[in-house]
Amino acid sequence: MNLLRGILSFTLIALNTLIACVPLYLMGLVRLVLRGPARRWLNRKMDWIIDYWVGSNRLLFRVFRLTRVNVRIEGEADLSLDRWYLVISNHQSWADILILQTTFWGRIPPIKFFTKQQLIWIPLLGVAMWLLGFPYVRRMSREQIAANPELVALDREATLAACAGFRDHPTTVLNFLEGTRFTPAKHAAQEARFRNLLNPKLGGMSYVVHGLGDQLYRVLDVTIRYPHGTPTFWELVQGHCQEVEFLVQSRPLPAEVTAATDAESVRAALGPWIEALWHQKDDRVEPAATAPAAAPPRTP
């Protein structure tokens, strides 16, 4: 039963992606010849494709009872489809993105997130995310940066260019500050300062805060916890993920951050604030227990 549910869920998500990409690609071709207000108008309409895709996946979650998301929002009155947000979250699995998108659907503008440059080659999705203005960035080691510091400047310019487009209409930007999914091996190699999290990286967040400026209404600090063990994407669509704990804390940026005048001073001001938030989040994220492989999901 779980295998059949997984095959059907995956097939429907793939079909949903194909359906969404047809109008998106056509709109992308039309956009090539547009300029000024007409181009900005079309960009807003293209974001409807994200709403369709996420809304369809949300319905699939409910129909197939893939999981139950226990949502707690501190500051729900702050959520609106007409404002700009930055979402920061811990990151454990590819499932996190689907959970974030489907949980926030209808509450805030469509989510756009930092994407590794290599992922542009994913069939359908890679080009779709590029057309929708997702910031594509490089994953670089300290050695690569030391050998070629200009790589950092390229990522900064790509993020600021994306933010310039985001300023045209309400947008939500998602940034996994850890930069990669948490694993015990990565945690040990990094000599992390936290028990259950990787060290946060502030470069991308500082560019977004600087790029969106006073249009950024709130930072939505999300903590995702899988009480029965962190699922893979395949385990999620099979229904093996019994439940998800999803805590949202709406936070204004500190005054010292909003007063900063450039990306570097923004980053310096963010450092102590994010370090304190990450210690709080570390206390909320307990090591996942091993869940029974065939445990039935609960009603979402």
Residues 253, 218: Cα–Cα separation, whole Å: 7
Q: What percent of the chain has pLDDT over 70?
A: 91
For 129-158, how does the pLDDT look when each residue is reduced to its tens digit (9 = 90+)? 999 999 888 766 566 666 776 766 777 888
235 vs 122: which has the higher pLDDT? 235
> Where do the domains of the chain lie?
2-284
Residues 194, 279: Cα–Cα separation, whole Å: 7
Q: Label residue 294 by pLDDT band (50, 70, 90).
A: very low
At residue 118, the pLDDT reads 80
Domain 2-284: give its CATH architecture. Answer: 3-Layer(aba) Sandwich (3.40)
Q: Label residue 283 by pLDDT band (50, 70, 90).
A: very high
At residue 139, the pLDDT reads 65
Decide: 223 and 178 in contact? Cβ < 8 Å. Answer: no
Mean pLDDT, rounded, for 263-279: 95
Using the CB atoms, write b or e for 49-65: b if 16+ within 10 Å.
bbebbbebbbebbeebe
Question: 34: helix, coil or strand?
Answer: coil
At residue 1, the pLDDT reads 77
Residues 230, 95: Cα–Cα separation, whole Å: 9
Decide: 51 and 110 in contact? Cβ < 8 Å. Answer: yes
For 13-39, how does the pLDDT look when each residue is reduced to its tens digit (9 = 90+)? 999 999 999 999 999 999 999 999 999
Kindly report the length of the chain: 300
157 vs 72: which has the higher pLDDT? 72
Q: What percent of the chain has pLDDT over 90?
A: 76
Of 98-102, 103-107, 188-192, minimum mean pLDDT range? 188-192
Identity (one letter) of the amino acid at 98? L
